Amino acid sequence: MKIKNHIALIAALFIMLAQVQITFAQTAAKALDDWELLGTRVVDYTLDRDVVALKAPSNQSVTGLKFVVKNGTLNMHKATVHFTNGDTQVIDFPPEVNKTNDGRVMDLKGNTRKIEKVTFWYDTVNKSNDKSVVEVWGK
């Protein structure tokens, strides 16, 4: 009888864990509902500079950016937003950017701005064999 109780308890815990994971996934998806994916970049394991050019440069104005890091951790040294009118803005980051602290909204100076590209300098903290992916979201 005790074995059946243990099995039932373990099954209930697995079901609760699955529900928590689904809730987190739904919350993360809702957090980006009003945001548009502007571009992505797979990053290397070295000190590097990458450019995320907009997938399709448009006349859409953006007031804020989010940088989402998947599959790893980055030491983000600097990021510069390049606007279509030639202006630039440097974005400040926490020392390490990973899935626990990415997605912070970076407000853009001025009113609504039209972005051409985002350049960022980083090195990776390789805690896995996967390369990190940086997504740039705009609103």
Q: Is residue 30 pLDDT above 50, yes or no?
A: no
29: its two tokens: 């998806």
C-alpha to C-alpha distance for 38 and 35, rounded to whole angstroms: 9
Q: Is residue 77 pLDDT above 70, yes or no?
A: yes
C-alpha to C-alpha distance for 62 and 78, rounded to whole angstroms: 20
Query: How many contiguous H segments (helices) and E segments (strands) does the chain have?
Result: 1, 9
Res 96: pLDDT:
74
